[in-house]
Amino acid sequence: MMDWLLLITSLPTENATARMRAWRALKACGSAALRDGAYLLPVGDARLQQLEAIASDIQQHGGVARLLTCRPLDGSHFPPLFQRDADYQQLRQDIQEQLLGLDPDNAAERLKQWRRLGKALAGIAAIDFFPSAGQEQAQAALQQLEAAIQQQLSPGEPHSLEMRIPRRALAEHQGRTWATRRRPWVDRLASAWLIRRFIDPQARILWLAAPGDCPPDALGFDFDGAAFTHIGDKVSFEVLLASFELDSPPLRRLAALVHYLDVGGAPPPEASGVETVLAGLRAALSDDDQLLAAASNIWDGLYQQFAKEA
């Protein structure tokens, strides 16, 4: 038989602001209302701290708050009060809406929505104290959405290799043709900029309809079988940095940004704005050379700002 935290509260009716703040805080921590003014949570250190903070705020605004630990004689009817099935069902409906009409032109915007939905799922899961199949179904639907978006943004996305990154000499990679998949997104745009900016200033960038179209004398990047592609947990931009031993604080910050926008992880503060601008450019410019030129201005600006901050 499990223990429960019970918060019994009462606030003056005229203090509407404090009442609303308490209600929102209780909802956010996942409490269940036994009746008006009586709120329940499973025992736990973090949940105890949350209820203590809510109780303290209520008391500071002239209310009464009593926080108890209880063990009911029959608590079997308490867990159903915490079911999140309706929340997961709504989330799955929202995910399905993002799948409808998904195409290359709106895939970048849908990727932002996928991240928003991922945060929503994490929020529900954090207060899902008695998980059911609904959580797994929502996670599966979110993974399906991500795969569909990536297929639109980056058809032929490379599989990561498990190998050491070979070191390359800049002098042997000058005036070359570099090839990657057409309709580039973040990793390919950043990699092409890096090649022309730091590796091969005279590089000719060739946009491929399919990786198999890569000429034998071209240096491929960001596709399976390319000279430069995903290795371990590094995306192609990071592999190029390591291959040519390019290491500086601004390039490391750019690498963290590209990594997040390509495969996820910890979001840098610039991520949302950069992603929005790149998505707009990709939708507005159908010519890949024009898209690279426009995106290169963004990478140049970020590099200069990061260098200044460093």
Does the pLDDT at position 75 exceed 80?
no
In which band, very low, low, confident or very high, does the pLDDT at 256 lie, cut at 50, 70 and 90?
A: very high
- % of the chain residues with pLDDT over 70: 100
**Predicted pLDDT at 72:** 85
Give the single-character DSSP code of 211. G
CA atoms of 247 and 258, how far apart (whole Å): 15
For the record, the structure tokens of 265 come out as: 């992880």
**Predicted pLDDT at 4:** 94
The single-letter code of the amino acid at 72 is P
| Cβ-proximal residues to 285 (8 Å cutoff; 6+ apart), any chain | 291, 294
Q: What is the edge-to-edge ordering of all strands in the sheet holding 219-220? A: 204-208, 177-181, 219-220
For the record, the structure tokens of 10 come out as: 């009462």
CA angle 179, 259, 160 (to 5 degrees): 60
Please check whether residue 255 is in contact with residue 266, taking contact to mean a CB–CB distance below 8 angstroms: no
Does the pLDDT at position 1 exceed 80?
no
Q: Where are the domains of the chain?
A: 4-80, 83-153, 170-309
Can you spell out the DSSP letters for 97-127? Answer: HHHTT--TTTHHHHHHHHHHHHHHHHHHHHT
**Predicted pLDDT at 240:** 97
Q: Are strands 32-35 and 38-42 parallel, antiparallel or unpaired?
A: antiparallel
Nearest to 62 by CA among 126, 16, 124: 16
Q: What is the edge-to-edge ordering of all strands in the sheet holding 32-35? A: 32-35, 38-42, 4-10, 64-70
Does the pLDDT at position 14 exceed 80?
no
Residue 131's alpha-carbon distances to 33, 40, 48, 127, in angstroms, are 19, 17, 20, 9
**Predicted pLDDT at 68:** 94
Does the pLDDT at position 302 exceed 80?
yes
pLDDT digits (tens, 9 = 90+) for 106-160: 888 898 899 999 999 999 999 999 998 999 999 999 999 988 998 888 777 788 8
Does the pLDDT at position 271 exceed 80?
yes
Please check whether residue 29 is in contact with residue 82, taking contact to mean a CB–CB distance below 8 angstroms: no
Mean residue pLDDT of the chain comes to 93
In which band, very low, low, confident or very high, does the pLDDT at 191 lie, cut at 50, 70 and 90?
A: very high
End-to-end CA distance of the chain: 57
- % of the chain residues with pLDDT over 90: 78
Does the pLDDT at position 303 exceed 90?
yes
**Predicted pLDDT at 289:** 97
pLDDT digits (tens, 9 = 90+) for 228-251: 999 999 999 999 999 999 999 999
pTM over the 0.85 mark: no
CATH topology for 4-80 is: Alpha-Beta Plaits (3.30.70)
In which band, very low, low, confident or very high, does the pLDDT at 268 lie, cut at 50, 70 and 90?
A: very high
CA atoms of 259 and 42, how far apart (whole Å): 39
Which secondary-structure segment (H or E) carries 194? helix 186-194
Nearest to 105 by CA among 264, 283, 240: 283
> 277's torsion region: left (phi>0), alpha (psi -120 to 50) or beta?
alpha
CA max distance for the chain? 80
